[in-house]
Structure 1
Amino acid sequence: MRMSPEGAELLLGAGRELGLDLEPHMPRFARFYRMLVEANQRMNLTSVRDERGIILKHFVDSLTCLLYPGFVSGMEVVDVGTGAGFPGLPLAIVRPDLHFCLLDATRKKVRFVASAVEGLSLRNAEALWGRAEELAQGVKRETFHVAVARAVSSLPVVAELTLPLVRVGGFVLLQKGPEVEGELGHSKGALEKLGGVLEEVLSLSLPVGGEARRLVVLRKRRPTPKEYPRRVGVPAKNPLS
């Protein structure tokens, strides 16, 4: 299924609201849209299936990460829990000067992301199967400038899965909803243990739809102690405090 002319204009208009000229990137977005819709008919990649929803809740929502001005050319970025490629793939399309490692623990999703990277001819992205807890205790520990994540879990949980992957001086950018405001006060101790601090919280509204979003920025101030992250599953079952 191809992206309709109305869908294309919706994406272009939303991009303009974010200060982005998406016109040069439309062929890739159109192909990504087609790949996602076709693959989603065979496997459950995303519950969002309508064109408007995919464009706004996946493509545009991913691109709101670029409202934070901290991304610098040449940075290595890891997308933790990328799922079907969000926010990493839309960011990789728009920012070819950054390199993205798209990490997920579900093989079928990683296979799709890998096929999308190849199908879109993205030389600045790679798909990786694995768990953040294990990779952060191995060769990927403190190797990235940036970690991004659509943060479904609580802030202490996501911080433990992301901060150990980021080098000192780098940052973590978490996409959250307004509910994160209630998590901030309970997260200071966890961030301190992990070597990070809360730098800022950007409030925004998703273009067109107007849904409230928050971009939570954590800065890595010092190396994460070796005991973090804890073994697979523990951060979610017993969040740091």
Structure 2
Amino acid sequence: MNLTALQSERDIVLKHFVDSLGCLNAGEWATGAAVLDLGTGAGFPALPLAIVRPDLRITALDATAKKVAFVERTAQALGLAVQGLTGRAEEVGRDPQHRGAYDVVVTRAVAALPVLAELALPLLKPGGMLVAQKAQLSAEERAAGLRAAELVGAELGGEWQGQLPVLGDARCLLVLRKVAETPDTYPRRTGIPNKRPLG
């Protein structure tokens, strides 16, 4: 299975491991926080986070079962406490076991901000935060994301801009803080958030 297009050790270290840990620039993460990596792929940022913050209770969510199985096997081999979860975010967000269950949802290059807001906010506890990692965030996407966030019970919680070490590639984080319960109508059924984004 092709888990990453990167070939060199240098690129994998910088563009996957180091880049993944940029999410910690979002601010203070409480000890023992329940964290969901939405769209984990090959386990980024779930695995690097588990290495540097073993206190976190991390769940790695992806729609592809083979990717989740890879993350679980890797975590087990490294002695990391990462739990895999296979499913679509639209469905998991309606599951009582996961809806409102997480302190932090982190995403890395998954979707546009309005889509992320609808998929992630139902999964968060009140006061929880969505940490969206982006290479770039246009003014249009940012504005649409903040409008979508308001609809699902969130507000802007913070922003960070910087560069990837050594390479100098631009990186940014946008944090949405959950301030109200997400209406029961969200997330909409599978595929709709991408086809008709909020905001």
* 1:95 is aligned to 2:39: no
Letter in 2 for 1:173: V
Moved more, 43-52 or 219-228: 43-52
Give me the whole-angstrom Cα distance separating, in 1, the residues matched to 2:101 and 2:60. 14
Distance 1:141 1:183, change over 3 A: same
Please identify the structure whose Cα radius of gyration is greater.
Answer: 1
Structure 1 length-normalised TM: 0.80
Structure 2 length-normalised TM: 0.96
| 1:178-217 → structure 2 map (5 Å cutoff) | 178-217=136-175
CA contact (8 A) 2:106 2:132 kept: yes
How far is the alpha carbon of 1:49 from its aligned partner?
1.7
How far is the alpha carbon of 1:60 from its aligned partner?
0.3
Give me the whole-angstrom Cα distance separating, in 2, the residues matched to 1:144 and 1:45. 26
Larger % of helix: which?
A: 1
Give me the whole-angstrom Cα distance separating, in 1, the residues matched to 2:27 and 2:149. 22
CA contact (8 A) 2:61 2:68 kept: yes
* 1:129 is aligned to 2:117: no
Larger % of strand: which?
A: 2
Give me the whole-angstrom Cα distance separating, in 2, the residues matched to 1:136 and 1:78. 11
List, as ranges, runs of 4+ consecutive aligned residues in structure 1 with deviation greater than 6 Å.
none
Higher relative contact order (CA 8 A, sep 6+): 2
Give me the whole-angstrom Cα distance separating, in 2, the residues matched to 1:186 and 1:226. 21
CA contact (8 A) 2:40 2:46 kept: yes
Q: Which residue of 1 aligns with 2:8?
A: 50
CA contact (8 A) 2:26 2:158 kept: no
How far is the alpha carbon of 1:94 from its aligned partner?
0.4
| 1:126-205 → structure 2 map (5 Å cutoff) | 126-138=83-95, 139-205=97-163
How far is the alpha carbon of 1:61 from its aligned partner?
0.1
Give me the whole-angstrom Cα distance separating, in 2, the residues matched to 1:154 and 1:218. 14
Letter in 2 for 1:107: A
* 1:223 is aligned to 2:171: no
| 1:26-37 → structure 2 map (5 Å cutoff) | none
CA contact (8 A) 1:201 1:215 kept: yes
CA contact (8 A) 2:114 2:198 kept: yes
- Secondary structure in 2 aligned to 1:187? helix
Identity score, percent: 51
How far is the alpha carbon of 1:180 from its aligned partner?
3.7
Letter in 1 for 2:99: R
Give me the whole-angstrom Cα distance separating, in 2, the residues matched to 1:69 and 1:90. 17
Give me the whole-angstrom Cα distance separating, in 2, the residues matched to 1:102 and 1:153. 16
Structure 1: runs of 5 or more not aligned:
1-42
The number of equivalent residue pairs is: 198
How far is the alpha carbon of 1:87 from its aligned partner?
0.8
CA contact (8 A) 2:134 2:173 kept: yes
RMSD of aligned alpha carbons: 1.1
CA contact (8 A) 2:37 2:46 kept: yes
Give me the whole-angstrom Cα distance separating, in 2, the residues matched to 1:151 and 1:209. 18
